[in-house]
Structure 1
């Protein structure tokens, strides 16, 4: 009998603690929406975290590989932007603001990549002096990726959005990757 009372008391305390001050569980709709947002970033994340294989001994191949990488990553950025447009309005506070900031960051990165590709197209690979200045300038957008916060970082602005991102499989995968994006 005493064990039963203790069990009932513990259960009542657990219910009380869960109801007081603990974060509310996100709705299924919030988790599904957040999962879509994180899923929209997966292609870009893979592309951005796969470094180009630069052969420094072959300037022509190095410039071509860098151009290929920038093009593929820029294409994935566009796919991410298209997918983010398709997720629709956020069912959770802070979601629309987060996606807006994310889209702005992705557009900035894509613009930098496109600019770098334009610079690379003008490089005379037979001119060592031009290679020495143009290629590092073209690599600048890649350096900026290192300074970007983790893609799910902005989801912590809202308690429910943060909780939804913890439950969303695609968000867990993004955190495991540790990839850039806004």
Structure 2
């Protein structure tokens, strides 16, 4: 693996979550030959250390994926309870996205080639997903537990929106990035992200 491919969980977790409401990683291998990197190296801040920079970027994704993975427990919940728990869950995911976007901004410029494209792809993912989460939460919040067919329609509409959440685009176009790969392989939060998004 080179850089994390960070959207594996969304396609699985969210549809399963909504279905439940209606019903009541990869190994790291660094390859390539060491060579001078043409990217300018920042002299201060997180970006001065490739591992610290990679850790910050992976931390931004963790801020999103950790609440995304914390699916609510609907045990014993009636329809109003399902609505409240699902809305709260989506709100937590939205907060995680906002936190992640701030962490990306704090990371600053990459000290290694490919890093800025990686960071931009993650930022795009968070922006697109934030819009989708907002729209899905609006559907949930408008659901009327006293109107069971309408309630189901609203949750199904939310599910359809959540199914559109995809991967960070452009990561497959990075090419060989041995220094970026090495920094990510050594960054603790990148390891946490890899474990969190690994297929079960």
Q: Normalised by the size of structure 2, how large is the TM-score?
A: 0.68
* 1:15-26 aligned within 5 A: 22-24=32-34
Query: Which one is further off, 64-73 or 31-40?
Result: 31-40
**Which consecutive segments of 4 or more residues in structure 1 shift more than 6 A?**
25-28, 152-156
Greater relative contact order (Cα 8 A, min sep 6): structure 1 or 2? 2
Query: Which one is further off, 24-33 or 118-127?
Result: 24-33
Q: Could you say which structure has the larger radius of gyration? A: 1
Q: Which residue of 2 aligns with 1:172?
A: 191
Q: CA deviation at 1:37?
A: 0.9
- 1:124 paired with 2:129, answer no
Q: CA deviation at 1:22?
A: 5.0
- Tell me how large the CA RMSD over aligned residues is: 2.9
- 1:106 paired with 2:126, answer yes
Q: Which residue of 2 aligns with 1:135?
A: 155
Residues of 1 paired with 2:90 and 2:72: CA distance? 9
5+ residue gaps, structure 1: 1-20
Q: Normalised by the size of structure 1, how large is the TM-score?
A: 0.74
Query: Which one is further off, 108-117 or 26-35?
Result: 26-35
Residues of 2 paired with 1:165 and 1:140: CA distance? 33
Residues of 1 paired with 2:75 and 2:172: CA distance? 34
Residues of 1 paired with 2:173 and 2:99: CA distance? 20
User: Could you tell me whether the CA contact under 8 Å between 1:49 and 1:179 is conserved in 2?
Assistant: no
Residues 32-68 of structure 1: CA deviation (Å, up to 9, x unaligned)? 2111111222222210111122358611110111100
Q: CA deviation at 1:30?
A: 1.2
